[in-house]
Structures are given as C-alpha cells and as structure tokens.
Structure 1
Amino acid sequence: MPSQADEEAHQLSYLQKHLANILYLLSEHVEGESEESLVLTMEGFEHLGFLIQFGDKGSGGVPLSQAAPFFANSDPDMSAAPVPVSQVHDWLLQTIASSLESITEKVSAKENGSPSGSDQDIAMADASPSSAKASPSARSPCFVEGVSKSSYVKQASDLKSSSVKVINCHDSTIYILAPLRYAIIYGCSDATIVLGAVGKAVRVEHCERVHVIIAAKRVCIANCRECVFFLGVNQRPLFVGDNHKLQVAPYNTYYSQLEEHLTEVGIVSTINRWDEALSISVIDPHDSLSHPAGVSDTQSESATCLDPDQLTNFLIPNWFENESTGSTKDNPFPLPDAYMTSQQRNVNALSLNEDDKL
C-alpha cells in the first residue's frame, strides 16, 4: 500500500499536470486593448481551496487568497483586482515543484534512517503546497482495509484517531459512526459505507458501485463509477477526474448520537448543498489511474440527482442499545419537498396495503 508521502506526491503531480485546464475553467475573459486575456478573481481563486491547502496539516490552515502574494494584502472591504491567469499558473507551478522536492527529501531522509515525526491526520486537499510539520500529538489515521462480504462497525469509543481510511473493501456494509476530521474511501466496490460526522472533508476515489452515506463539511469525489452518494454537506460537492454514472441524493439516515457528533465537528444540518455539485472533469488519457486501460475515451459525466421515488430511508441497526446515550430520533437534514412528498406517498401506499390484508 502506498505511503502518505507517495499519495501526496501523486496528488501534487496530478494537480501539476492538469493545473492549466483547471485555471481555465475558473477564469474570466477580459477584453484588452488589442487582444482577449484571461484573469482570475479572488473569488475564483478561492475555489481552488477544494484542491489546495496551505498551512500545517492538522491545523485549520490559512485562506488560500492570503497565502498568495497577489491577493494577500487585499483590503477585505474592497473587491480585489483580478490577476492574470498566467501569473497564478506560474506561481502555483513553482509552489507545487517546491513541495514535491520537499516530499522527495523527506522520503530520502526516512530511507536513510533519519528520525522523523509521527504521521499526521490526512490533508484532504489534492495538494498541500506548504510542507507539513510533524506534530508529536498528531495520530495516524485509523485504517479499515480489505473487508469482504461482511459487516463492519466502528463507534467513537473504538477510534483513537480523528481520521479514517476505508480502503479496498468489497461486498460489505461498513459503519463508521463517530465524529471525525477527515475520511478517505478508496478502491471499494459493491459496498455500502456510512460515515458519521466529518468536520473537515471526505474524499472518495476509484470506487465502483458503492452507496456512500456522508454527513460532512465538504466532499470530493474522484474517478468513480456507478455510485450513489447520499449527502448532508455544508459546501458544494466537488467532482474531479473521470467519473461516470454517478448519482447524488439527500442524506437518508441517522443514529442516536448523530446530532451530538454534528455539533461537535461544526456541521450545520439546516444547510445541505447536496445538489449543487461543482464538476472539474479533466481527463488525461495517458493517466493510468484516472483513465485505466480498456476504458473508452468518453467525456467524464456530471452526477445526476436520484429520482425522488427511489429514495428510501437507510436504517442503521442499534447494536449497542444499552450503551446509546444520544437523542437523535430522526434524520436531522430536512428532505427537499419532492423527496418528502414521495416518501409520504410511499408510506400512505404501504398503509393501504396493510389495511387490505386485514
């Protein structure tokens, strides 16, 4: 399994390769004296915060615009002047190259037996251009790996870390019912995965035919196929890479301590932007990870909304009834009207069927 340094290096290289296209998608056209030029506003630049994080891992980081020299000293009460895309592109490439060099030096030092700090919580951006400083108090992520044809449950009392990685799990149902900071779901198929409250971000990558139920501040989905995501998210879901046949739906479950966990990590259940997906679908046909051999050269697809008639409530078994102290009795994320109407119609139809049997 690749190390965290290997993952970071791959993510940085991927971003480096596709940076020009990403900036083009975020840019605006401005008429110059004799030719059209591309510029990036501070608001557009901040959208890169989905992919790039500055500051020590494990900390809240700093706003992206304050880390960049061209926006750092902007007056907060005034709109900052747009910056040429070429200037942003050059600065980011230089920063990414510096970070890749730093990662290489750390790996070399580790291979040569030099002491290093303990692992840290996962940075859930595609890149972290500033070098992370190891913190003695940081904990390694909890791994849920290789679960096959079974059910797996973790509660808050079972976890010693605020970060979780669910990797290569197949034909299974996995419950992580705990307050978390970060979570990664990678390489899973034909599974249902339920995450508790994730206060920073969730990344789902290279998964096929999975149902993922997530309550999180933000979520990034990359290179997935035939998956359904039931989301309770405070920020727009981000879709990157080569995605196909994905569906999104409103959050559809609860467990007894869910509201307590949402409050603990700072998620507001009255705000759910599940259907406001932001898609950055940049595909490199020569990238073996995002475009595997045998896959046709088709354009990546945007996620579609699940038909309201297909949404059902997902019931989490209460295995620990005697230990449960939470007060959550229902889904804390309000359902949109169309989904609520459909559910009520299904309940009424079920009641009529029961009456007919009597």
Structure 2
Amino acid sequence: MMRWLILLLLPCVAAAGPDTLRVATFNTELQRDGPGLMLRDIRRDKDPQIAAVVEVIRQIAPDVLALQGIDWDYENQGLNALVERIENTGLIYPYRLSLRTNSGLASKLDLDGDGRLGGPGDSQGYGSFTGQGGLAVLSRYPIDTDAVRDLSPLLWQELPGAVLPAHRGAPFPSAQAQAAQRLSSTAHWIVPIDLPSGPMQLMTFQAAPPVFDGPEDRNGLRNRDEIRLWRVLMDGKLGAAPSKRFVIAGGANLDPWDSDGRSETIRSLLADPRLQDPAPHSKGAAQAADQGHKTPNARDTVDWERAGRLRVDYILPSSDWTIADSGVFWPASNDPGHAVALQASRHRLVWVDLRLD
C-alpha cells in the first residue's frame, strides 16, 4: 500500500476558482508490456508509480484531463480501475472517454521497413498489442460522446501537404505500406465537452517520437505531420474547423528548439494566431542544471535519461479564451511533491486555468 504518499504531501498548486476551468495533460507512462498488466498492477495497489500518478492528479485536480500512456482494453477496465483509485482520494470524474488507438493495431504489412512482419513497428502505431500506451479523457463535465471525432483512421497520404518518406527515390518502406499507413501513431481526437458556460472542444493526441529511424526520416516526417494536422484542421481542410473555445492538449514529442526532429513544426503551431501559448513553467525544471538548450529550462516538461530535459507536452487554448494561470507540476527539490513528480513519470503534468466568463 502506498497511501503514505497522500498522507505526507500537501497540495503544491492552488485549486482552480469557481469561474475557472482547469485543463491538464499528463503522459503517465503507465503502459505495460502485455494486455491486462496495467489493470493487474492498478488493482494490486502495490505499485509506487501508480500511487504517484494518482497523487499528482489529486494535487492538481483538473476539471478536464487528457491522459497518455494508458493501455486500452475493450471494456475500459484498466481506465475504470485507475479512475476508481483517483476517486478514492475524493476527486470525482463522472465522464470519461477511451477509444481504440492505432498503437499496437496490427497491419499485416512491413510498415517499418525492417524486412520482417509482425513486430511492434509493423502496427499502425508502435506497440506490442492493440491499445498499448493509448489515450483517455477524464472530465467533471459531460462529454458528448456521440459527437466525438476520431481522426485516427486518416491515412498519412490523405493529409493535405503530407510528406511521406522515400529512400533512393522510392516510397519507404513500400508503396503498398504507404497506401495503408495511418497518420496517427496513437490517436487524434476532437472531444466536445459541455461546460456551464457553453461547449468546448478538447483536441488531444500523442505524436510519435521523431527519432529511432534511418536516413529516410520516417519518424521525423510522421511526427511533423501529426503535429501539423491541427493547423490543417483549423484551416478547414479536414471537415468542419473548430470555431471557438477549443484547446489542444497532448504530447507532441517535439521541443520548439532542442529536439532532433523538425522543430519548426511545433514552433509554427505555437505561433499560430488562432492559439495561445501560456508557456507554463515550474520551479523544479528551472533549478535543474543548465543543458545549454535554447528553450528556457523552466518550460521543460520531460526528463529523459539520454535526451535530457525538453518541452514536449503542450496545452494550447484557442485565442478566444482568457488564461488565468498555468504551470507544470515539477516542484522544486525542497518542496512537497518533488519526489512524487519524479516517481510518477518521466513526463510532468501540464495544466492551464481558463476563465469561464
């Protein structure tokens, strides 16, 4: 039992006000190596990482929470078990969304070009089983599930302006693979939520890492287009464009300046006049040793062993919101919650408070 975490820690972030909506995104990294293992570990209530994830969520208490790194199953037993653990702390989420993602979705093709079939790289999104490391949305307010738009089936080649990988002038890994390859490595969802002040749309995703490929830059190009999808959507080239009160929240896997991928893509999204970048920051990241990066240390949202600290997790409200506050849950080393933030995930929870007037 890890309930001592809750007893020892005091809240580090003030609760959102009554006229404020707190939106958060959190890559929990709770995915496991096999189907059902995340559910098993949650129910056993002995895993310190799971306890830490629950504690981080409790301390921030978002009204709307986009989760990544959550294994999907047909009956949503894993997500429901996690929500039960969260609700045991007094934080209630009556509305939730979990759909099958592209991660681990078998293709029967050689999608990664390694000359073999059936590996995790041959799934529509990297994964050893369907839904490994998927997405979920938790909300205190009703989700209009009938109106959810799931863009995950969109083929990569169907995205306007897509650039697909090539090797020696030929499609990589093959024309047949590109004809079947979906764009979303995990998913892209547009989730309508009914707020007291009116409807909003949560646009959530988790992009592929732009590395772990070859000179064809398959992952780098895919990451580019997964991020660029949101601008194409706002341009009205993928059906109805969101008109007002929307929020992009999720994982881009790309830093504006310091990643190995095509960083100009995320810079273009951050600079889009239809969006706002709250530039959330934390004391924990600010006090860490300087890496010589161009992105300010305080804005980092992940701490990877080799790549170091980067800003890769984002909440970008549309320009018609009024931003009240924002932050990254990464307390300073001498503040309550620091050890729990590090225990929960290499990623940190990012949150933004929006005025409901």
Establish whether TM, by shorter chain, passes 0.5: no
Q: Which has the higher contact order (CA 8 A, sep 6+)?
A: 2
Q: Compute the TM-score of the two structures, normalised by the length of structure 1.
A: 0.27
Q: Compute the TM-score of the two structures, normalised by the length of structure 2.
A: 0.27
Structure with the greater alpha carbon radius of gyration: 1
